[in-house]
Structure 1
Amino acid sequence: MAGELVGHSVTVTAPSCPTETRLYAKGRLVAEGFPADRAPGLLAEHSDAVLWLDLYRPGAADLAVVAEQFQLHPLAVEDATEEHERPKLDRYPQHIFLNVYAVDVSTEPDDPPFGKTEISAFVTDRVLITVRKSPSDTHKFVERWDSDAELAESGGVAFLLHGLLDVIVDGQVAAAQRLDVAMDGVEDALLEEGGAARPVRMHGLRLRKTVAAIRRAIEPMPEVIAESMRKDLGLVDDEMRPYFRDVEDHARQAGNQVEHLRDRIEGLLQADLAEQGNVLNDTTRKLAAWAAVITVPTFITGYFGQNLPYPGYDKAWGYVQSMLLIVLSAGGLWLYLRRRHWL
């Protein structure tokens, strides 16, 4: 990977979108908050420095300015302008391009269930350029970089990329853990006898939708991080490799947990559906049993109501006899069905 700056003879203008800038040299913060058009000059002054440039919701003209400064490939620039790109890492002659998602979830019924920030990144030999397409907090990236001064001293631009990926993956792990905790409460309610109430089922479906959304952002991350460590890229050296592997391990942990959550919520919803089926079967069985109980006296009264003489016909004791037969037969059937738990 070989990314070089445009020479000083090229006239550049600053992008009009909101930007953040920081310059690190040997683990020490040299400058921050300077205009983006000063970046080439500062990098020329500090030959051992690396730069972070963040662009928030840049337009095509803003990215064209930055692309001219740092020789960014047009296809990568096009991907950075498009929304909802899949998580990926692409290699270009002068840089590599990544697209990743920082995620956040809420398990409260009144809050939006899932939020994500799409972040595109261009990585050259000395520059990390991030493009954020929705509101997000960059302080976590800055805090991570500032807390790893010793790593920054020897890590180069890979140090900046490591901090970015580490913060994103930590957020994904935390989101998966919050969903796991929330699912404990849903599990207790869904597995109650008789099936869960409708609000509980709706909350379970909401969690299933959230798990599906977060899975699309988390599942490709181990592959993206593994691609960034390829030796032919020349980005991650032997000293930084263990740190990237640690981030990759956390990404796999988050992916495995999300897969477990998906299987878990699907199993819970299926168990609740089966319990509802059991309740329906029980209700149907009871209705059938009551129909049988009612059928017996209906049959007997229908028989004695025919215009045929029978023992006790037109006698008082005949009436008593018919009533006792009805009560005893219906009561016997009721006791039999009761013992079989049909009633």
Structure 2
Amino acid sequence: MIVDCAHYRDGRRQQEGPMPLEEAAARCTQGGFVWLGLFEPGPQEMDKVRECFGLHELAVEDARSPHLRPKAERYEDGTELIILRTARYDDEREEIDTGEISVFLAEHFVITVRQGVASELHGARGRLEHRPELLRAGSSSTLWAIFDQVVDSYAPVVAELDRDIEEIEATVFSGAVAPTERIYFLRREVTDFYRAVHPLLAVLARQLQPGKQPSELLPYFHNVHDHLTLVNEEVAAQRDLLATVLEANIAVISVEQNKINLRQSATMEQLTILATVFLPLSVVVGFFGQNFAWLVGRIESLTAFVVLTLLGLLLPCLAVYVWLRRRRHRPTPSMPEVRHDAATAAMPTPRS
């Protein structure tokens, strides 16, 4: 879909309404340059654009394919294809929406192909139309405007990522356990964002080569390069910080798991003591619960009942109590102490 198509000459837009592709291609020979903006065009529409402007078929095919990294390619006819990745932070989903902008740059025309919702260029065109002194520099001025808007759009993404990282960092370092899945997801988002930012440095540095851009545009390209360098450093720091936060969160999880294990061990110890106490009692009760004539006939008086039953229950309990106390006060064997004296330290390390 054609979003806008305009002819610029002497720093001014030459028409206000839409312009057909054939007319736009014809105006390329009338001085100045044509800026054609497309949003997610179909194959037939791209084929028509290629025929009207004489684009290389490999360049058109490259613009149709999605890319993970920015790139720049120059073709035999002098047309340069520059691919940039855009980013926008979605507050509701707390995710980064990415897009792609393919720029066909020639002396007399600029064609931008946008993919994804995060690839808006209306602001870049409007800002450039209010700078006639830059428009007079030719089609390269549109490249600066696109770079400037894309790099400026990175700053809010960095700020939102900082906010998310600070929330997770505060949770982890307060001793609580943060959702590990959230940390992994955020680190993946930052890594994808880094792939969009870091390679763009080389693409932008290529535009700063001597004789590549008009002298009046060089300060503006250098300014964009400085902003991009700062964003790249911040994203790299965020990625390293998330790795540290992930390790700290795993350590917190380990501490919590150790606490649970200690509580479970204490509970099992108490249950074991109870089982140890009742085991001999169960044996005694089970023995005297047998209905043998000899056993029943011998318990005829109260004294025999007390001696054979109550004492039979108390003696095992007393024996278990004495055994547990002696076991508790028994010293725990210590590990042999390893001495590190000067002679040991001076011994050479054996070679493998």
TM-score bin (small chain): 0.7 to 0.9
Secondary structure of the 1:248 match is: helix
CA distance in 2, matches of 1:297, 1:313: 23
Q: Could you tell me which amino acid in structure 1 is paired with residue 163 of structure 2?
A: V
Aligned counterpart, 2:113: 131
**1:182/1:297 CA distance change after superposition, 3 Å:** closer
Secondary structure of the 2:215 match is: coil
Greater relative CO, 1 or 2 (CA 8 Å, sep 6+): 1
Aligned counterpart, 1:68: 51
Report the Cα offset of residue 223 of structure 1: 0.7
Unaligned runs of 5+ in 2: 285-306, 330-352
Equivalent of residue 193 in structure 1, options 170, 175, 178: 175
Is 1:173–1:251's contact at 8 Å kept on the other side of the alignment? no
Cα deviation per residue 1:50-81 (whole Å; 9 max; x = unaligned)?
Answer: 22111222233333333233332221111012
Instruction: Name which one, 1 or 2, has greater alpha-carbon Rg.
Output: 2
Structure 1 residues 219-298: aligned runs within 5 Å: 219-231=198-210, 234-295=211-272
Equivalent of residue 196 in structure 2, options 203, 217, 223: 217
Aligned counterpart, 2:83: 99
Is 1:120–1:131's contact at 8 Å kept on the other side of the alignment? yes
CA distance in 2, matches of 1:327, 1:142: 91
Structure 1 residues 55-204: aligned runs within 5 Å: 55-84=38-67, 86-93=69-76, 94-108=78-92, 111=93, 113-135=95-117, 136-153=119-136, 155-196=137-178, 200-204=179-183
Q: Which moved more, 1:91-100 or 1:280-289?
A: 280-289
CA distance in 2, matches of 1:327, 1:201: 49
Is 2:280–2:316's contact at 8 Å kept on the other side of the alignment? no
Q: Could you tell me which amino acid in structure 1 is paired with residue 14 of structure 2?
A: V
Structure 1 residues 315-334: aligned runs within 5 Å: 319=314, 322=317, 326=321
Is 1:101–1:117's contact at 8 Å kept on the other side of the alignment? yes
Q: Could you tell me which amino acid in structure 2 is paired with residue 139 of structure 1?
A: H
Q: Could you tell me which amino acid in structure 2 is paired with residue 144 of structure 1?
A: R
Cα deviation per residue 1:202-250 (whole Å; 9 max; x = unaligned)?
Answer: 433332232222222222111111112233xx54123222211221222
Q: Could you tell me which amino acid in structure 2 is paired with residue 37 of structure 1?
A: E
**1:143/1:107 CA distance change after superposition, 3 Å:** same
Is 1:105–1:175's contact at 8 Å kept on the other side of the alignment? yes
Report the Cα offset of residue 304 of structure 1: 8.3
CA distance in 2, matches of 1:301, 1:313: 18
CA distance in 2, matches of 1:55, 1:305: 87
Is 1:85–1:99's contact at 8 Å kept on the other side of the alignment? no
What CA RMSD, in Å, does the superposition of the two structures yield over aligned residues?
3.3
Secondary structure of the 1:125 match is: coil
Aligned counterpart, 1:9: none
